[in-house]
Structure 1
């Protein structure tokens, strides 16, 4: 059995995936602090996190269903003359829709 070789590209991909790692560690530590100091608040924390996740999920799918033809990940700059502005506008549109869905669920609207 041959072991996979680690190339600079694979190393970059792994580091790229772990770039949010410090925030995840901080969130886990904060959850443990809440669990130690205020264990009765864990349900509230779980409820808030679930609303945040549902808002992000619903916002993403709302964007995909409203704009099925204009997805940022399938944008082909060769077909457009002003590729940077068009791609940035698609990403900005998606982030605004997702942020609106998160805020709506977070504010219990």
Structure 2
């Protein structure tokens, strides 16, 4: 696959723009809420901050519990299992955070 020149310059640049479509979708959704119901903007920001916080905590729970099994350091089946384990731990942290009042 031939990438545009800017992405061949640095993997760091590529990583910077990896989630751009999701960021744009979030910005558009935020703008729609801002126009239709400005009173809900604070609630939207509160919800987004909670999601970010619990995803971050889930990631660090995985790193603390499994310091020897980081997905990017493993190979083969062990790597796939580690990625699935991390995804489940982050999902569980998000669910636990969503259930809190």
Report TM bin, short chain. Answer: 0.7 to 0.9
Distance in 2 (CA, whole Å) between partners of 1:88 and 1:27 is: 29
Distance in 1 (CA, whole Å) between partners of 2:15 and 2:62 is: 26
RMSD of aligned residue pairs (Cα, Å):
2.2
Distance in 1 (CA, whole Å) between partners of 2:45 and 2:24 is: 17
Larger radius of gyration: 1
Give CA deviations for 1:40-78 in whole Å, capped at 9, x if unaligned: 101110111111011111101111111111111233xxx
**5+ residue gaps in structure 1?**
1-5, 76-82
Between Structure 1 and Structure 2, which shows a larger proportion of helix residues? Answer: 2
Q: Equivalent residue for 1:97?
A: 89
How many positions carry a matched residue from both structures? 97
Distance in 1 (CA, whole Å) between partners of 2:23 and 2:83 is: 24
